[in-house]
Amino acid sequence: MRSMRSLALLASPIAAATALAFSPVLTPQAVAAPAHATVAAVPTVAWEYATAPLLPGTTKQILDFWGADGWELVQVVPNPANPGQLVAYFKRALPA
């Protein structure tokens, strides 16, 4: 009688769901990252940096000049030596 009761418990939908939930084949880790999966290496980029003062009335021309040469504007901050003047920080990738 006891063995029949055990079989009935294993055949219930809850027992079946529990057995599947703890199956090593169906774990989220196994689905998300199979053992044979590899992560591609991300290429590293080397950067060079430059600064330039932004003069009133010529800001657009200065930014266009640096941008045409491949420089990307990173930040504009007040000049520590002269707070009334702005300094632009640029970066661009070094040739590989």
**pLDDT digits over 34-71, tens only?**
566 677 888 889 999 999 999 999 999 999 999 999 99
The amino acid that residue 31 corresponds to is V
**Nearby residues of 77 by Cβ (< 8 Å), 6 or more positions away:** 86, 87, 89
Give the residue numbers spanning the domain of 77.
Answer: 47-93
26 and 57 inside one domain: no
Is residue 64 situated within a structural domain? yes
In the chain, the percentage of residues whose pLDDT exceeds 70 is 61
62 and 89 inside one domain: yes
Is residue 68 situated within a structural domain? yes
Is residue 41 situated within a structural domain? no
Helix, strand, coil percentages (3-state) for the chain, rounded to 5, are: 40, 25, 40
Number of domains in the chain: 2
Is residue 10 situated within a structural domain? yes
53 and 27 inside one domain: no
**Nearby residues of 42 by Cβ (< 8 Å), 6 or more positions away:** none
State the pTM of this model.
0.55
pLDDT value at residue 34: 57
pLDDT value at residue 33: 58
57 and 22 inside one domain: no
51 and 87 inside one domain: yes
Structure tokens at 20: 């599947």
Is residue 57 situated within a structural domain? yes
55 and 87 inside one domain: yes
The residue among 42 and 79 whose pLDDT is bigger is 79
In the chain, the percentage of residues whose pLDDT exceeds 90 is 48
